[in-house]
A and B are shown apart, each in its own frame.
Chain A
Amino acid sequence: MTGPINWLCQVAAVTRFGLMSLPRRLGAVAATVIGIAGVVGVLVGILSMAVGFKSAMLASVSDDKAVVLRSGADSEMVSGLDHETTRIIADAPGVARGENGPLSSAELYVMINVPKRSTGTDANVPLRGVDPAALQVRGNIHILAGRMNQWGKNEVIAGVGAAQEFSGLEVGSTIKVGRADWPVTGIFSAGGGAAESEIWTDGKLLQAAFNRGDSYQSVYVKLNSAGAYQTFKDWLASNPSVNVKVARESEYYAEHSATLTKLINTLGLLIAFLMALGAVFGALNTMYSAVAARTREIATLRALGFGAGAIVVSLLLESLALALAGGCLGGGLAYLAFNNFHTSTMNWQSFCQVAFAFRVTPALLLEGMTWAAVIGLIGGLFPAIRAARMPIAAALREL
């Protein structure tokens, strides 16, 4: 009688035997579990860096904001727009209007040397000169400590990420901009977005400090709606007096996080793949020796009438259980070690620092568990097949 219920009972019985014998093979079992934990931990750890970086870049972007640069410029750092152009952009159709005129902010984007807290060495921290309208354009700037900088005064406010990663950005301290020292009057948040890695100040004053005349580098505008983007873009493209490149804020920042995210992901997957290969070999070893140690048991079960299929499945389950235990251990360790770990790195597309926190997301943990499961299944499959194929008589005689 090999009905499905009976078959399930067989699988359950053999699996139980296997799992109960694990303590007797503690060394081998530990090697497998820790091996797989290592793979999952490293995989999740490295990828959480890419996830954290990307989410810092993309946290607060939206489709109803646009960034305008000079045509041919691939980042704000190398762009340049004269005053006249920024006026034309502000008056373009599709731009939302507030009480004080169009919601358009002509901005300057430069970098200054500020020492990194962790190393004490200089890092390129972005310093952004903005219009008062920038606050309404972004719509998510909140002062967490201190106060807003006063327009027309040499004062700066620091993003919360920047203040955490770089030294000398506390309220009350000063930074050197141009020839003078400017006080930091406040710390701001920006919905977790890229602006939190930046220092902000009055654009007009920054022009003077950096000898930029009356030129800007980018214009950020708030549109009437996400749908108004096409009108806005087409109008600027067909206007012969300006020569600019328009992108949705979301597209601009996605493009700007692409290089580093791709680099981390490529390297992370390569390393994890190789480690996974190593772990598969380890798991195979463990399961082969598990099968070898239980040759007689398995043969006895077969002689009693247990099916080959049930043996294979239960050995696979045993291997899967070890792998998932390893996956949980590795994912858990990665979560404890890396989640919310604050750091900063250089964005290779602008050479500026981006402060971010590693993020171990449920999706990443799931990916890690998937890897663990695949390693466990491969590691269990071949030994299980060998066990099922053993000639019963010969196996019984062994040992």
Chain B
Amino acid sequence: MKFLPLLWSNLKRRKLRTLLTLLSILVAFMLFGFIAAIKQALVGGLAIAGADRLIVRHKVSLIISLPGSYQQTIDKIPGVAGSAHETWFGGIYQDPRNFFPQTAVVPEEILAAYPEIVLSPQQKQAWLNTRTGAVAGRKTAQRFGWKIGDKIPITTAIWTKADGSQLWEFDLVGIFDGREKAVDTTALMFRYDYFDEGRRYDKGHVGWYIIRVRDPSQAVAISKRIDDEFANSPAETKTEPEGAFAQSFAKQIGNIGLIAQGILGAVFFTILLVAGNTVAQSVRERTGELGVLKAIGFTNVQVLGQVLAEACALSVLGGVLGLGLSWLIISRGDPTGGLLPMYYFPAKDLLTGLGISLALGVAAGILPALQAMRLRVADALRRM
């Protein structure tokens, strides 16, 4: 502790240089924050996928619907705790750019399948009582300023009504939240009975099923059992755990993890060079002083520690400031204006960032520190 003032005055020696180094480290950690948030936005859905949930879809294509009668067959399979289904609506609210997912569901079933969706009991009751009722996620409701009681008009090119119209109206009866931050609250869900009665084509069919199993370790066996059940029927199925389904969907975008790591690698390599160079420079300038310190009794280890501490202090300070700043900016919303609904800074990455800042300090300081430690007093003093 008593060496803190020494450390402080060394950092103050060249204020501008310290400041510039600090800023470049700060920027690196802001980037770290943004990339973590972007990655979260693109692959975040994977984190919440329930291990006990399976997705059953048409084997050939996600866009082909499955018969609604499959549900009874599935429910009878041993190990299945419950089932629900969803049908993609693909509608447009006001402008095609206002994308958010909309699906037709059976309220009790879907709420049982997704316990992470939090809807108040009153709103749930209202949904059960209102045939035209719909519930929206908090994010979408906020985005368009919807309030409970609003009529939401949505046009869809996919689902023509029996009278030929493509405009559907829903009454907003509830707004749901996520039990945790990673839950997507951008969806609009409305009642399947209202939808199925109103549409002209494909009546009695559903988009895909969500199955809950009693024992996650049986998930693979049950998946196979379901697919075997419908093999050689007009609509064969492909069943997989929700995690695998979400993962293959994310992988369709591309290898985001690899791209993010590549960019971060380039950033930190650069910053390591900049910071390392600064520390090395300041050690070179202070050769004489370090010699004096050693002459008056500082041990080698103390000198080593002093240089390392200086590098780490700079790096951790830059890291904390950079991570904090990016956290502030990220919590104000995503930069693309709604394309990335799950854009936020995960706490796990915040901790990783702090760890990296310390590691960066050590990596940047270690060579100059060793150099300082190995200085011979006589040589150092001669250079004064």
Chain A residues close to B by CB (< 8 Å): 27-28, 30-31, 34-35, 38-39, 41-42, 46, 69-70, 72-74, 77-80, 110-113, 116, 118-119, 121-124, 176-179, 210, 259, 262-263, 266-267, 270-271, 274-275, 277-279, 281-282, 284-286, 288-289, 343-346, 348, 353
Contacts and interface: CB of A to CB of B under 8 A. Distances in A.
A27 B31 CA distance: 25
A73 B156 CA distance: 8
Given A73-B157, A210-B64, A275-B31, A281 B277 contact: no
B20, B38, B278 pick with most chain A CB within 10 angstroms: B20
A122 B28 contact: no
Contact of A271 (B34, B270, B271): B34
B339 A277 contact: no
Q: Is the interface of B mostly helix, strand, loop or mixed?
A: helix
Contacts of B129: none
Interface in B1-59: 16-17, 20-21, 23-24, 27-28, 30-31, 34-35, 38, 59
Contact of A122 (B248, B273, B274): B248
Contact of B31 (A113, A119, A274): A274
Interface of B: 16-17, 20-21, 23-24, 27-28, 30-31, 34-35, 38, 59-64, 90, 92, 96-97, 99, 155-158, 160, 166, 234, 236, 238, 244, 247-248, 251-255, 263, 266-267, 269-271, 273-274, 276-278, 280-281, 335-336, 339-340
A179 B230 CA distance: 12
A30 B360 CA distance: 18
A266 to B, nearest CB: 5
B238 A31 contact: no
B201 to A, nearest CB: 9
B122 to A, nearest CB: 35
Contact of B251 (A112, A119, A271): A119
Contact of A289 (B34, B266, B281): B281
Contacts of A72: 92, 155-157, 166
A259 B252 contact: no
Contacts of A122: 238, 248
Contacts, number: 160
A288 B17 contact: yes
A46 B38 CA distance: 14
16 contacts: A27-B277, A74-B96, A78-B158, A111-B61, A111-B62, A119-B248, A177-B60, A178-B60, A267-B336, A275-B267, A277-B23, A277-B24, A278-B23, A285-B20, A285-B277, A289-B281
Nearest to A74: B96
Contacts of A39: 270
A328 B234 CA distance: 59
Contact of B27 (A275, A284, A285, A344): A275
B264 to A, nearest CB: 10
B68 to A, nearest CB: 15
A105 to B, nearest CB: 20
Contact of B270 (A38, A263, A286): A38
B20 A80 contact: no
Contacts of B62: 111, 113, 124
B41 to A, nearest CB: 10
A124 B156 CA distance: 21
Contact of B253 (A113, A275, A345): A345
A74 B38 CA distance: 27
B270 A35 contact: yes
A33 B248 CA distance: 40
Contacts of B253: 345-346
B266 A263 contact: no
A123 B252 CA distance: 6
Nearest to A293: B281
A278 B270 contact: yes
B281 A28 contact: yes
Given A79-B157, A177-B60, A278 B263 contact: no
A74 B92 contact: yes
A267 B335 CA distance: 8
Nearest to B25: A278
Contact of B20 (A38, A42, A284, A346): A284
B353 to A, nearest CB: 14
Contacts of B16: 288
